[in-house]
Amino acid sequence: MKVLVIGSGGREHSLVWKISQSPLVQKLYCAPGNGGTALKAENIDIRATDIDTLLAFALEHRIDLTVVGPEAPLVDGIVDEFQQEGLKIFGPKKELALLEGSKVYAKQVMKKYSIPTADFKIFDDPQRAKEYIKKKGAPIVVKADGLAAGKGVIVCKSIDEAHAAVDLIMLKRQFGAAGDRVIIEDCLEGEEASILIFTDGETIIPLVSSQDHKPIFDGDKGPNTGGMGAYAPAPLVNDEVFTKIIEEVFKPLIAGLKQEGKIYKGMLYAGLMIRENCPYALEFNVRFGDPETQVILPKLKSDLVEVMMQTVEGRLRARKLQWDEKFCLCVVLASGGYPGSYEKGKEIKGLEELDNREDIFTFHAGTRQKTDNRGQRTEFLTNGGRVLNIVSLGSTVKEAQAKVYSAIENIHFDKMHYRRDIGNKALKFLSQNSRIDCLP
Ligand code: AMP
Ligand code: GLY
């Protein structure tokens, strides 16, 4: 088979790494890819949002399966366009990618199928939104309807802050048309977890639970980022919570959509708030998570390409996935200044120290490889906000944590920044539940 992966982050490098292990795959491409994907796939210089050029490439190279990493091409309808040309592609069609593309649509669907979520109201008029905020009080959450590169959700501690958030989204148009409508939502307390499923629109195959760390600084301080680290499984998601998530969130959603004649195929990711063993859906993403994928795939023993083909072809019914029991942990190394402005082009030193370490996975995100004047590839340079993901498996949380942080000691680039507390929440949770550093 020939497989094309679309995207250029750590998620896509981990997808390329896992897909390259499949005996079904003879040739692997990544568009546009990064310095790391080039080690296992042929990088193709086409942007992830350039659907016409991607389609032309897939037709010309007779691609058997295309795997879409980021949300933007899914929301723009890449799956519909590929399918019209008879190509197999992993992901939902445009009408269902709206679950991520429109938070208003996602909340309406949650309400329709009685999926537990925070109470909310939708506004297209800023004045009405502000009056409602005044009535409800703070804390309160203001969300832009459309895609806003992960920045369209503002958790507000005061009424003034929430009013300013409405102005930012609806009047200053910070996120453009994404701010035509806002959702004003009750603020939920609890701890967050991510659950991803494969589904062919009928059968649901859950992946192991995971937990992202969005704020830039230790102790969940500072502005939100794309994700500074993750681990799997999330001890917070015990058997009871896991069952509730499948029964109360995913099953009603997939069955309800099917009744409407909408068959969801691909990866579906729920971001959840867990409080007192009860899950509340915060959002749906119609793709693999980043950095969740970087900790889920090293635990997956089954052939990813096989399960993706079964998803696309509606053959998931009898599917079982095999998992490594170990705990997997990922720390993201970021450029200084991220998620604000940062410099690119810094030389990354020490990567070769990790090349022969079978227990460490180095998934690149914002990197590129320099070429010298003879066209030979030389050192890696930083090329984005999130630069590298250092990942390891361990028999315990502490072991995985120690392996990752000692591996990081080898890596250097100017103004490198990373969180030093990834894994601590899992340790705290396990100790409070008197299962000190054991797996759930
Ligand atoms: P979303 O993109 O909707 O998942 O929101 C991004 C982040 O905002 C989440 O990961 C949460 O940290 C936070 N958030 C969203 N909705 C709520 C809510 N209703 N209550 C508390 N925090 C929220
Ligand atoms: N980990 C957050 C996301 O993938 O959206």
Specify the pLDDT at position 434: 55
| Residue of minimum CA distance from atom 3 in ligand 2 | 289
CA distance 163 to 146: 19
Q: What is the mean pLDDT of residues 87-106?
A: 98
CA distance 224 to 150: 8
Is 153 close to ligand 1, i.e. is its CB under 6 Å away?
Answer: yes
Answer yes or no: is pLDDT of 33 > 60. Answer: yes
| Other CB atoms within 10 A of residue 65 CB | 21
Q: What residues form DSSP beta bridges with 430?
A: none
Of the ligands numbered here, which is closest to the C-alpha atom of 147?
1
Q: What is the mean pLDDT of residues 200-215?
A: 97
Q: What residues form DSSP beta bridges with 381?
A: 347, 368
Atom of ligand 1 nearest to the CA of 214: 10
| Distance from the alpha carbon of residue 284 to the mean position of ligand 2, in angstroms | 10
Task: Give the rounded percent of residues in the chain with a pLDDT score beyond 90.
Answer: 92
| Other CB atoms within 10 A of residue 139 CB | 16
Answer yes or no: is pLDDT of 9 > 90. Answer: yes
> Token match 């990942």: residue?
391
Atom of ligand 2 nearest to the CA of 289: 4
| Distance from the alpha carbon of residue 162 to the mean position of ligand 2, in angstroms | 24
> Token match 């109470």: residue?
119
End-to-end Cα separation, the chain, in angstroms: 37
CA distance 279 to 284: 13
Q: What is the mean pLDDT of residues 313-327?
A: 95
- What average pLDDT is seen over the chain? 95
> What are the tokens at 154?
């503002």
Is 216 close to ligand 1, i.e. is its CB under 6 Å away?
Answer: no
Decide: 429 and 277 in contact? Cβ < 8 Å: no
| Distance from the alpha carbon of residue 424 to the mean position of ligand 2, in angstroms | 20
Is 118 close to ligand 1, i.e. is its CB under 6 Å away?
Answer: yes
The model's pLDDT over 227-250, given as tens digits with 9 standing for 90+, comes to 999 999 999 999 999 999 999 999
Q: What is the mean pLDDT of residues 312-334?
A: 96
Atom of ligand 2 nearest to the CA of 11: 4
| Distance from the alpha carbon of residue 427 to the mean position of ligand 1, in angstroms | 23
Contacts for 317 with CB less than 8 Å, ≥ 6 apart: 202, 203
Decide: 96 and 264 in contact? Cβ < 8 Å: yes
Is 303 close to ligand 1, i.e. is its CB under 6 Å away?
Answer: no
**For the chain, how long is the longest CA-to-CA vector?**
67
Angle separating helix axes 10-19 and 304-312, nearest 10 degrees = 100
Residue 435: pLDDT band with limits 50, 70, 90:
very low
Cα 266 to the center of its chain, rounded Å = 14
> Token match 């080690």: residue?
39
Answer yes or no: is pLDDT of 225 > 70. Answer: yes
Judging by DSSP bridges, how do beta strands 215-217 and 211-212 pair with one another? unpaired
Contacts for 159 with CB less than 8 Å, ≥ 6 apart: 133, 134, 137, 138, 140
Q: What are phi and psi of 248, to 5 degrees?
A: -100, -20
Name the nearest CA neighbour of 234 among 286, 279, 195: 195
Burial class (CB in 10 A: 0-12, 13-18, 19+), 224: middle
Say how many residues make up the chain: 440
Cα 136 to the center of its chain, rounded Å = 31
Decide: 297 and 304 in contact? Cβ < 8 Å: yes
Decide: 358 and 325 in contact? Cβ < 8 Å: no
Decide: 193 and 211 in contact? Cβ < 8 Å: yes
Give the residue, 429 or 62, on which the prediction is more confident.
62
CA distance 207 to 200: 14
Atom of ligand 2 nearest to the CA of 287: 4
Is 6 close to ligand 1, i.e. is its CB under 6 Å away?
Answer: no
| Distance from the alpha carbon of residue 84 to the mean position of ligand 2, in angstroms | 29
| Distance from the alpha carbon of residue 134 to the mean position of ligand 2, in angstroms | 31
Task: Give the rounded percent of residues in the chain with a pLDDT score beyond 70.
Answer: 98
| Other CB atoms within 10 A of residue 301 CB | 9
Q: What is the mean pLDDT of residues 337-344?
A: 96
Mutate to test the pocket of ligand 2, among 194, 195, 213, 293 (most ligand atoms within 8 A of CB): 194
| Distance from the alpha carbon of residue 431 to the mean position of ligand 1, in angstroms | 26
CA distance 289 to 330: 13
The model's pLDDT over 342-369, given as tens digits with 9 standing for 90+, comes to 999 999 999 999 988 889 999 999 999 9
Specify the pLDDT at position 436: 40
| Residue of minimum CA distance from atom 12 in ligand 1 | 192
270-280: string of b/e by CB count within 10 Å (b at 16+)?
bbbbbeeeebb
The model's pLDDT over 365-413, given as tens digits with 9 standing for 90+, comes to 999 998 888 878 889 999 999 999 999 999 999 999 999 999 999 999 9
Task: Map residue 73 onto helix, strand or coil.
Answer: helix
Q: Pocket residues for ligand 2 (CB within 6 Å)?
A: 212, 227, 285, 289-290, 292
Of the ligands numbered here, which is closest to the C-alpha atom of 71?
2
The model's pLDDT over 151-188, given as tens digits with 9 standing for 90+, comes to 889 999 999 999 999 999 999 999 999 999 999 999 99
Residue 439: pLDDT band with limits 50, 70, 90:
very low
CA distance 431 to 85: 54
Specify the pLDDT at position 151: 82
